[in-house]
């Protein structure tokens, strides 16, 4: 089973093999921290303990939150400027001493995560996690929360030599899935995730559960920008229903073409198969359909960019006037702004 997320031009210069105008995904991979789950308390405690042991000024909560999603050693260097591998290793050891047991027991999933994962799994979509968190910790958390059986695999920091934004983790996921990149969607909360997806050839959906603002994704290709997991799930359910309707139409069309002996004939070739007296009319109709498709496809990306830009301007104006309502408790807990659902 696949689900449909967005209309794309995947048929090249000759959009003739029908039914390929929509983009289908057979699998979805997720980042973990600030995408599916929140380990902020334990991560902050680990950072503060590690910095204290190493004699560094103790970072506050918001400073640490801004590094979540990076490899521990990279986050340490970002905050201290210290690139010494031995000190980085010491920091990791001190961090894990405090954070690892707490992460395993205290991490919670964002609202909508369980419904999203179970719903996709029930619809036959294969699922995985690719994260800079250790795979062992993620597997423990997901099993504790009763969602381990939803996942086909977990790829963590110890499973790869190169970490995001390097695409190694996502490339490993593709190998395990046995799918081409265009059949897999990656969902994450940072530009590291967006870059890794682009470099691996996957399409990307941004989830604004963390500290990265919506505007940061402007320069990265993405098919969806979701304020939270409920918004992402709503999109996927709507598109799944539409995909099933489209599949019904495709089945009817396939039966008709088979009955006419035209199942392998492209739209561009169709006029030549018509009776001579109808060929000219068929040619005009097929060219009109192809041109309309090209116009629609070429307008889609500029329209999306314009819509996102306009919606952000509206948000900024509402915030300036003090008219925007306060977001839900989850938003205040994660520090993310309340964003408009910018569906493509």
Q: What is the pLDDT of residues 166-192, one digit of tens each?
A: 999 999 999 999 999 999 999 999 999
Q: What is the 3-state secondary structure (H, E, C) of the chain?
A: CCEEEEECCCCCCCCCCCCCCEEEECEEEECCECCCEECHHHHHHHHHHHHHHCCCCCCCHHHHHCCECECHHHHHHHHHCCCCHHHHHHHHHHHHHHHHHHHHHHCEECCCHHHHHHHHHHCCCEEEEECCCCHHHHHHHHHHCCCHHHCCEEECHHHCCCCCCCCHHHHHHHHHHCCCHHHEEEEECCHHHHHHHHHHCCEEEEECCCCCCHHHHCCCCCCEEECCHHHHHHHHHHHHHHHHHHHHHHHHHHHHHHHCCCCCCCCCCHHHHCCHHHHHHHHHHHHHHHHHHHHHHHHHHHHHHHHHHHHHHHHHHHHHHCCCCCCCHHHHHHCCCCCCCEEC
Mean pLDDT of the chain: 83
User: Six-digit token pair at 97?
Assistant: 């001493």
Mind listing the domains of the chain with CATH numbers?
3-37+112-233 (3.40.50.1000), 40-106 (1.10.150.240)
Mean pLDDT along residues 203-209: 95
Of the chain, the percentage scoring pLDDT greater than 90 comes to 59
User: Six-digit token pair at 26?
Assistant: 């057979």
Q: What is the pLDDT of residues 274-328, one digit of tens each?
A: 888 888 888 888 888 888 777 776 766 677 677 667 777 776 777 777 654 444 4
CB 251 within 8 A of CB 273: no
Q: What is the pLDDT of residues 144-170, one digit of tens each?
A: 999 999 999 999 999 999 999 999 999
Residue 222 confidence (pLDDT): 92
Of the chain, the percentage scoring pLDDT greater than 70 comes to 79
Q: How confident is the model at residue 244 (pLDDT cuts 50, 70, 90)?
A: low
């Amino acid at each position: 089973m696949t689900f449909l997320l967005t209309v794309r031009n995947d048929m090249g210069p000759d959009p003739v093999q029908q039914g390929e105008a929509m983009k289908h995904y057979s699998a979805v991979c997720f980042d973990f921290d600030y995408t599916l789950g929140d380990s902020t308390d334990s991560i902050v405690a680990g950072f503060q303990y590690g910095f204290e042991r190493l004699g560094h000024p103790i970072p506050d909560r918001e400073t640490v939150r801004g590094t979540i999603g990076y490899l521990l050693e990279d986050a340490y260097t970002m905050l201290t400027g210290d690139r010494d591998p031995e000190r980085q290793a010491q920091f990791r050891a001190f961090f894990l001493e405090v954070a690892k047991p707490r992460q395993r027991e205290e991490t919670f999933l964002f609202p909508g995560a369980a419904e999203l994962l179970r719903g996709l799994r029930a619809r036959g979509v294969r699922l995985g996690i690719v994260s800079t968190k250790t795979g062992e910790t993620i597997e423990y958390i997901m099993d504790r929360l009763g969602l381990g059986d939803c996942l086909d695999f977990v790829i963590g920091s110890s499973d790869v030599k190169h970490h995001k934004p390097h695409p190694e983790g996502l490339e490993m996921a593709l190998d395990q899935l046995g799918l081409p990149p265009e059949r897999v969607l990656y969902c994450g909360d940072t530009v590291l995730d967006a870059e890794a997806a682009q470099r691996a050839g996957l399409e990307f959906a941004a989830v604004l559960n963390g500290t990265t603002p919506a505007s940061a994704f402007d320069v990265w290709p993405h098919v969806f920008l979701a304020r939270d997991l409920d918004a992402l799930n709503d999109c996927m359910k709507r598109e799944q229903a539409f995909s099933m309707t489209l599949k019904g139409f495709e089945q009817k069309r396939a039966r008709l073409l088979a009955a006419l002996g035209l199942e392998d004939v492209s739209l561009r070739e169709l006029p030549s198969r018509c009776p001579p007296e109808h060929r000219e009319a068929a040619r005009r109709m097929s060219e009109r359909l192809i041109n309309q498709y090209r116009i629609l496809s070429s307008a889609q990306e500029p329209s999306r960019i314009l819509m996102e830009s306009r919606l952000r301007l509206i948000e900024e104006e509402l915030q300036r006037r003090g008219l925007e309502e306060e977001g839900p408790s989850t938003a205040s807990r994660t520090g993310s702004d309340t964003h408009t659902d910018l569906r493509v």
